[in-house]
Structure 1
Amino acid sequence: MRICLIASSQFPIAEPFAGGLEAHTHAMARTLLERGHEVTLFAGAGSDPELNAELLLPEEFCGSETGRRDISAKPEEWMQQHHAYLGLMLRLAQEFQQTGRPRFDVIHNNSLHHLPVAMSSLVPTPIITTLHTPPTPWLESAISYAGPEATFAAVSRATAEAWSDVVSAEVVTNGVDIQRWSPGPGGTEAVWTGRLVPEKAPHLAIDAARLAGFRIHLAGPVMDQDYFTTEVLPRLDDTAIYRGHLHQDELRELVGGSAVAVVSSQWDEPYGLVAAEAMACGTPVAAFPRGGLVENVSATSGVLAAENTAEALADAIRQAAELDRSGVRAWAEKSLSLERMVRDYEMLYDRAAHPHGAGQAQTARAAA
């Protein structure tokens, strides 16, 4: 199929990834290409050229000095993203007007921006939007204007339920490359990975690891410098070490060589990609029971804290570290694989592109 993937206009789809959404989109593009599809990727400049996907780079926007002086002016970053997605949707609509035929069989929107949804009726191609977050006002509003060809998927049952008052979404749970995130030897220390922001609460992971008697390593991009300076930096010492923003191979080595992965989220995780990566490495997870983590962390692969406190998370860390690593890996192979996720999306693409059943052969191939 001819597939357009819409990603973040702000961050490149390249390592080291800005977050789980960028890692997810990179894995999707790579696997779809390997499975013989023609993939075009709309993403930020600097995206991985080794994907061999056609890139649609965002149009740059630089406001005038007069416009920036307006008291109602949005931040420059907001305007740049608005301009990028506005330009993309108008470009896709204009291409159809000029040629009389759609360029793509399906468009898969993995961005968090509202315009691909709100302007979907301008484009004759079916647009599938994956809901990667709990409901946001901008996206809720945009769904009211979604075109008749718009389809929605959610990355977990918890996310689908959170959106159920707004839109019905098919559940296509995320997955990780279980070949790349291969089993590691384990170790004696804890690990925390992800974006260093308040809602991910790495400071609680540090507190819990100390209470549990574990040294902990942290890795990921600092996305909120004030939070990092106030809450994380003062807690760092020789028992809590920040390793920086690592590439996936470095992360795999760190996570696979740890006794337990700590997930300390203070928001309802739509899926919990870092937990899935850890489990694929055979590293058990200790987490707060938030959102999709409740679905993705099984009794054989991790322990969910009894309550939302550092003390309860510390108990979960101690218990999770005792789990059998082969059982953790087996759970990942059964439930968390990238191949399964892509096959599910292929079937969803086929149904969207052939709503009257003309794509049954493709569906059968995808199922195989």
Structure 2
Amino acid sequence: MKIAVLGHRRFPIKEPFAGGLERFTHNIVKGLQQKGCRVTLFAHPDSDRSLNLSLEPIIDTSFCLNSEEESHEAYLNIMDYLSEADFDLVHDNSLNYFPIILEDRLSIPLVTTLHTPPFSRLLSAVRYRERKQRGYYISISKFNTSLWDLETERLTMIHNGVDVDVFTYSQSVNNYAVWTGRIIPDKGTHLAIEAAQKAKIDLLIAGAIDDYPYFETKIAPYLNKGVEYVGHLAQAELVPLLQSAAVTLCTPTWLEPFGLVVIESLACGTPVVAFDRGAISEILDSQTGILVTPDNTKEMAEAIKKAKHLSRHACRARVLERFSLETMLNKYILAFECIVDKYQREKHASWLLHTPPR
């Protein structure tokens, strides 16, 4: 199968990953290639060239006035290029509404993975396509699926997966908690600090600082007071950090559509304490973590003390059973094959309907 994968234009798809979407895009491109698919990535020009990054079409955005205009011009050119290119399917991970709006230019199916809860522009584009009974979608959790409220015949739910050969198991434990992710208010880094201090446990923070005023006001004042910021880490540095932690904290202040950090931690054998918000309850069970009332750092502090004693073997087993990258890739390939087949049957039926009798 020949697949064109659309990444977004804000961050390169390369290590250290800016966030979960970049890691997902990297993993699915590499994984599909290893399973024999011919995959071409259309993404930020500084992305990893080993992903078979397309440098076509050559996109001139020098006349654009801002990043939004640059993205629109880029996707306009990419969709024009794909309308003439030789692919079986386009897999859209752009978080941009242009590919959905411009789907009619394609003679192959466009499959959009819904990585986020609905936001206005993307939702409007999806609803526009739904009215025409067009478009195929994959949602990353049951919770996120419920938020989008789309027709089930065009929507498949596939949980994200983690590469268990990279995020490997370790029994070795040190008495610290870890928080990792993009450092922005939506991820609630400051609440992890508050909970760790109440639990009297050191906290190591890793991730890209995407909101500097937030970091300076809510994070920096607590550094060197049982809190350490260890930087924006590549996988080779992040894995040992997770492996040795007694517990991982997950503190979203938004409706978390999945929680990739949770399965990465569990794959390393590290239990998780998380706010019971969004889809995280689909990942954790009583053997692998503790869910607490959202924003309740006192409750989280008490849970930290208990979670340290959960079975690390059970954490690893949970991922191997339900959330491995291998499982995710197999489900995506099956979904893609079904969509291509359905698209061709619908296209043939439409041709028959509009072909005048002889």
Q: How does 1:55-134 map to 2 (within 5 A)?
A: 56=56, 59-63=59-63, 76-93=66-83, 95=84, 103-134=86-117
Contact preservation (8 Å) 1:155, 1:270:
yes
TM-score normalised over the length of structure 2: 0.91
TM-aligned CA deviation for residue 18 of structure 1: 0.8
**Secondary structure of 2:184's aligned partner:** coil
2 CA distance for matches of 1:5 and 1:347? 16
2:235 counterpart residue number: 248
Pair 289,119 (structure 1): closer, same or farther in 2 beyond 3 Å: same
Q: Confirm whether residue 153 of structure 1 aligns to residue 138 of structure 2.
A: yes
| Amino acid paired to 1:319 | K
**C-alpha deviation, 1:57, in angstroms:** 6.8
Distance 2:207 2:54 in 1: 28
Structure 1 portions without partners, runs of 5+: 69-75, 96-101, 359-368
Structure 1 residue 105: Cα displacement: 0.6
2:286 corresponds to 1:296: no
Task: Please state how far the C-alpha of 1:39 moved relative to its aligned partner.
Answer: 0.4
Give CA-to-partner distance per residue, 1:234-273, whole Å, 9 cap, x none.
1222410001100011000111110000001101111100
1:62, distance to aligned residue in structure 2 (A): 2.5
Cα separation, 2, equivalents of 1:33 and 1:165 = 30
Q: Name the CA distance, whole Å, in 2 between partners of 1:338 and 1:207.
A: 33
What CA distance in whole angstroms lies between the structure 1 residues aligned with 2:344 and 2:81?
29
Contact 1:15 / 1:247 at 8 angstroms: preserved in 2? yes
Contact 1:43 1:57 in 2 (8 A): no
CA distance in 1, matches of 2:56, 2:236: 27
Query: Residue 98 of structure 1 aligns with which residue?
Result: none
Q: 1:175 aligns with which of 148, 161, 165?
A: 161
Aligned equivalent of 2:173, options 180, 186, 189: 186
Say yes or no: does 1:270 pair with 2:257.
yes
Distance 1:313 1:58 in 2: 50
CA distance in 1, matches of 2:56, 2:206: 31
Distance 1:282 1:78, change over 3 A: same
**What is the distance in 1 between the residues matched to 2:57 and 2:183?**
27
Distance, in Å, in 2 between the alignment partners of 1:334 and 1:315 is 29
Map Cα deviations across residues 43-97 of structure 1 (whole Å, 9 max, x no partner): 1012112334545577241237xxx5xxxxxxx111111211122112222x2xx
1:256 aligns to what SS in structure 2?
Answer: helix
* 1:106-130 deviation per Cα after TM superposition (whole angstroms, max 9, x unaligned): 1110111011111112111101100
CA distance in 2, matches of 1:109, 1:270: 17
State yes or no: 1:136 paired with 2:129: no
Query: Partner residue of 2:29?
Result: 29
Q: Distance in 1 between matches of 2:320 and 2:312?
A: 13
Residues 126-160 of structure 1, C-alpha deviation per residue, up to 9 Å, x if partnerless? Answer: 01100000001101111133365520110000000
Structure 1 residue 220 and structure 2 residue 207: aligned?
yes
Change (3 A) 1:31 1:150: same
TM-score (structure 1 length as normaliser) = 0.88
| Change in CA separation of 1:84 and 1:236 when aligned onto 2, cut-off 3 Å | same
The answer to whether the 8 Å contact 1:156/1:173 transfers is yes
Distance 1:240 1:60 in 2: 45
Q: Secondary structure of 1:144's partner? A: helix
* 1:365 equivalent in structure 2: none
Instruction: Report if aligned partners of 2:57, 2:78 keep a CA contact under 8 Å in 1.
Output: no
Q: Distance in 2 between matches of 1:150 and 1:356?
A: 10
1:336 partner letter: F
Q: Distance in 2 between matches of 1:315 and 1:60?
A: 55
Which residue in the other structure is 1:328 paired with?
A: 315
Is the contact between residue 42 and residue 53 of structure 2 (CA under 8 Å) also seen in structure 1?
no
Q: Hey, what's the Cα distance between the residues in 2 that align with 1:58 and 1:169?
A: 33
1:307 deviation in Å? 4.5
Query: Which position in structure 2 is the counterpart of 1:364?
Result: none
Contact persistence 1:42–1:57 (CA under 8 A)? no
The yes-or-no answer on 1:311 pairing with 2:298 is: yes
- Residue 169 (structure 1) shift: 2.8
Deviation at 1:306, TM superposition (A): 3.5
Q: Go from structure 1 to structure 2 and tell me whether the alpha carbon gap of 1:341 and 1:165 turns closer, same or farther (over 3 Å shift).
A: closer
Change (3 A) 1:195 1:58: farther
Structure 2 unaligned residues grouped into runs of 5+? 346-358
1:237 aligned counterpart, secondary structure: coil
CA distance in 1, matches of 2:266, 2:55: 32
RMSD of equivalent CA atoms: 1.9
